[in-house]
């Protein structure tokens, strides 16, 4: 998507044919810093410190990290070491493990002398595949936005509410929940996005607002508390969020607070859509009760980072020194509250039946087992 | 309630018999600063800058402000000027206007020479009346907490979720939503409070957490997004919130985000109680559609204030420089989502019929008109 009028991805090979460049997302929204990854260690650090984040982008960054490792030392031993190092950066990311396994496979098939070249090609393919999936999600989801605009008699603008950052910054390009928004915007549909700030890490306020602003999509930042009121007042036409994991039954684990917005959407007869690349479907789990919910450091609740007027990045305390805090990172929105799932293969009801219609190969597998 | 083991109110006459002292709430939770109000101007400034806030406390502070004015100049002209000045501090506060009218009445009945003494007595009565109302709310509400504990077989502790600050800091003492919590805690019921931080002004994280901690009530600060997950996980036994205005039909206007918690409580069969002193009932309005929702400065969303490790109070920006923000201060929770109202006269269903059972004088008035 566009940054300062120029198309960008979150990660790309540099002009020298070896280095990889990324947007340092820890500096956003106040500074656009491009960081060069020259070594395996650079790539591992970028993932661990969340300079790159978002499951699809983590996968692509790990793939490029394996290419950097192959440039340094293409031996089998070195490749195994690199894989372990990258796998340890974010222990729970599914895409990370998938990308590493895929890279090892690609590298094992060629002699050492050709491993760097093969790794570079395969990493690029992994990045491009993510873009293709998100582009397809955008195409299917944009239809829902265009339909909402038709329902409004093509007057005014389509009001979308989103939570957290499921935009292009979480992927290589396009994003998941925001792909339909960009697609509709690019096609000239008047659209406006209510951006939940998404406490405690504020990915909405810092990342979603930034990327929408840079691409020229009208938007307004709100506190997470505000969405219910907006829906009651008729100021939201539809909600679109992303997901970290969707069960085979259509339950959706996503950033903490998603469930509250789904309840408000249901209470006000507003469609609540979840956009997901199919790799985030967990076919092994039918019900959400089996999804473990990560509890993160309480410091993310008690303290917050922001920028002073002088441009200094400062962390400040928000709570009394002796008050404990709890930090649940995700919640589960039951399938009954999800109007539809938007995948790269199309749109389906949030149910086993709905998902299996789009992914019939999973039906056959289930029958066989 | 207790601060550092000693009982305190939010406002009290100083030992000199003339000055009034307050807790400067803008310094909480990081500093307990007592401010002396010596003049009418001091009192007006304390209300305008939110050193004192919360409708009941604003009323008491305005009453004491009138006493300070009478000490400076007890003439009719000066009293009128003082009233205008105090009325202008927080234009929408209902209790402020009521307290000022009441003080003018009390002052008009005595000669100038006795006005300061009369004003001091009447201001003290107004403060004490607030304490009495909240104490009664606490008594009625504590019954619900004790009942919840019985239902748990007197095992573990009662888990309460609250939003914003409706504690003793918003009143002269006891608070509204937290009065039942303090009462139950004082009676030895094991209780734990989930404290919504309550963006954007963070009254939960800064004020509710502080006052619960000082009184020794176990509590945990959470982001506003977390409550739905906690309820789904069975970690909340009941919710209690305050209200800025309740309609004659039982709809509740309260801090933005209240509605989302009420939806989650309903979805998980958890009681959702609203504690209210009867002066906050708006008998003129049946439906919430007539309640205007205040929109405040977007700067409260884009920026946040906190304390650095070195103890400096610093404001930092959270959002991109060019992203607009919207700041809706309240939302409305429809009566259908409220399990019961807790008033100083007892507990009733959130409905016209329920309220009129407790306040039958309002029924007669309606019939007469």
Quote the Cα angle for A125-A128-A133, to 5°: 125
pTM: predicted TM-score of the whole model, two decimal places? 0.95
Residues in B closer than 8 angstroms to A263, CB to CB, are 228, 260, 263-264, 267
Listing DSSP states for B266-313 in one string gives: HHTT--EEEE--GGGEETT-SSGGGPPPPB--THHHHEEEEE-TTS-E
Residues B199, A331: C-beta atoms closer than 8 Å: no
Say which CATH architecture domain B2-129 belongs to: Up-down Bundle (1.20)
Chain A, nearest residue to B300 by Cα: A223
Report the C-alpha gap between A95 and A57 in whole angstroms: 9
**Closest CA of chain A from B234, distance in Å:** 13
* Edge-to-edge strand list for the sheet holding B34-37: B11-13, B20-23, B34-37
Q: Which of B221, B304, B322 sits opposite A325 (nearest CB)?
A: B221
C-alpha distance from residue A291 to each of A160, A283, B52 (Å): 28, 12, 45
Topology of the domain covering B152-368: Rossmann fold (3.40.50)
Q: Using a CB-CB distance cutoff of 8 angstroms, which residues of chain B are in contact with residue A161?
A: none
Using a CB–CB cutoff of 8 Å, tell me whether B221 touches chain A: yes
Closest CB to A308: pick one of B220, B267, B314.
B314
Which residues 324-343 on chain A approach chain B with CB closer than 8 angstroms? 324-328, 330-332
What's the rounded Cα separation, in Å, for the pair B236 and A12?
A: 47
Strands A11-13 and B238-241, by their bridges, are unpaired
Distance CA A103, CA B254 (A): 54
Nearest to A99 by CA among A123, A75, A131: A123
**Is the peptide bond between B200 and the residue preceding it cis, with omega within 30 degrees of 0?**
yes
- Boundaries of CATH 1.20.120.420 in chain A? 2-129
ipTM of the complex as predicted: 0.94
**CATH 3.40.50.10470 residue spans of chain A:** 152-368
* Helix%, strand%, coil% for chain B, nearest 5: 45, 20, 35
Q: What is the mean pLDDT for each group of 10 consecutive residues in chain A (369 residues)?
A: 96 95 95 97 96 94 98 97 94 82 96 97 97 98 98 95 98 98 98 98 97 98 98 98 94 96 98 95 85 89 96 95 96 97 98 97 66
CB B176 within 8 A of CB B274: no
Tell me how far apart the 2 most distant CA atoms of chain B are, in Å.
Answer: 64
Span between the terminal Cα atoms of chain B, in Å: 43
Q: Are A325 and B220 an interchain contact pair (Cβ–Cβ within 8 Å)?
A: yes
Between β-strands A313-317 and B272-275, what pairing exists: parallel, antiparallel or unpaired?
Answer: unpaired
Q: What sections of A152-188 are H helices per DSSP?
A: 179-186
CA distance B254 to chain A (A): 11
pLDDT at A279: 87
A302 contacts B221? CB cut-off 8 A: yes
Task: Express each pLDDT in A250-300 by its tens digit.
Answer: 999 999 999 999 999 999 999 999 999 998 899 988 878 878 888 899 999
Residue ranges of B 3-62 with Cβ closer than 8 A to chain A = 29-30
Q: Which residues contact B354 (CB under 8 A, 6 or more apart)?
A: B250, B340, B341, B348
Number of Cβ pairs < 8 A linking chain A and chain B: 221
Ramachandran bin of B137, using left for φ above 0, alpha for ψ from -120 to 50, beta for the remaining angles: alpha
Task: Collapse the DSSP code of A87 into the 3-class scheme (helix H, G, I; strand E, B; otherwise coil) and give the result.
Answer: helix
The two structure tokens encoding residue B179? 């009065």
Question: Which residues are paired to A316 by β-bridges?
Answer: A304
**Nearest by CB: B301 against A29, A221, A327:** A221
Contact B291, B280 (CB under 8 A): no
Residue A111, token pair as written in the block: 């002699």
For residues B14 and B17, what is the distance between their CA atoms, to the nearest angstrom?
6
Among A5, A29, A215, A226, the residue to mutate for chain B (most B Cβ within 10 A): A226
Mean pLDDT, each 10-residue run in order, chain B (369 residues): 96 95 95 97 96 94 98 97 94 82 96 97 97 98 98 95 98 98 98 98 97 98 98 98 94 96 98 95 85 89 96 95 96 97 98 97 66
Arithmetic mean of pLDDT over chain B: 95
> What is the predicted pLDDT for the residue at A369?
47
CA angle, A107 then A112 then A116, to 5°: 60
Among candidates A232, A259, A264 on the partner chain, residue whose Cβ is nearest the Cβ of B332: A232
Cβ(A219)–Cβ(A194) below 8 Å:
yes
User: pLDDT digits over B170-200, tens only?
Assistant: 999 999 999 999 999 999 999 999 999 999 9
Task: Give chain B's count of helices (H) and strands (E).
Answer: 13, 18
Q: Alpha-carbon distance A105 to B282, whole Å?
A: 70
């Amino acid at each position: 998507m566009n940054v300062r009028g120029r198309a960008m991805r979150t990660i790309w090979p540099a002009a020298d044919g070896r280095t990889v460049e990324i947007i340092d997302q820890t500096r956003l929204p106040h500074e656009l810093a491009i960081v060069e990854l020259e070594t395996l260690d650079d790539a591992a650090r970028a993932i661990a410190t969340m300079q790159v984040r978002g499951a699809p982008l983590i996968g692509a960054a790990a793939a490029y990290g394996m290419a950097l490792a192959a440039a340094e030392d293409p031996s089998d031993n070195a490749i195994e070491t690199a894989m372990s190092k990258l796998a340890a950066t974010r222990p729970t990311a599914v895409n990370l493990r998938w990308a590493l396994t895929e890279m090892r496979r690609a590298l094992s098939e060629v002699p050492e002398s050709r491993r760097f070249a093969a790794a570079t090609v395969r990493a690029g393919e992994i990045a491009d595949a993510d873009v293709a999936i998100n582009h397809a999600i955008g195409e299917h989801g944009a239809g829902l936005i265009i339909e909402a605009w038709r329902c409004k008699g093509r007057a005014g603008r389509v009001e979308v509410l989103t939570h957290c950052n499921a935009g292009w910054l979480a992927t290589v390009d396009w994003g998941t929940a925001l792909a339909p928004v960009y697609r509709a915007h690019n096609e000239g549909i008047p659209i406006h996005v209510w951006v939940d700030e998404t406490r405690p890490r504020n990915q909405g306020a810092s990342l979603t607002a930034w990327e929408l602003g840079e691409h020229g999509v009208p938007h307004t930042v709100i506190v997470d508390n505000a969405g219910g009121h907006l829906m009651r007042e008729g100021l939201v036409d539809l909600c679109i969020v992303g997901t970290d994991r969707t069960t085979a039954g259509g339950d959706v684990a996503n950033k903490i607070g998603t469930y509250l917005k789904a309840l408000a959407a249901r209470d006000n007869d507003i469609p609540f859509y979840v956009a997901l690349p199919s790799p985030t479907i967990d076919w092994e789990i039918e019900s959400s009760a089996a999804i473990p919910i990560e509890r993160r450091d309480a410091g993310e609740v008690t303290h917050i980072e922001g920028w002073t007027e002088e441009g200094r990045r400062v962390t400040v305390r928000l709570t009394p020194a002796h008050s404990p805090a709890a930090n649940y990172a995700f919640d589960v929105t039951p399938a009954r509250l999800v109007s539809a799932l938007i995948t790269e293969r199309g749109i389906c009801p949030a149910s086993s039946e709905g998902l299996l219609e789009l992914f019939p190969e999973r039906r056959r597998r289930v029958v066989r087992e």
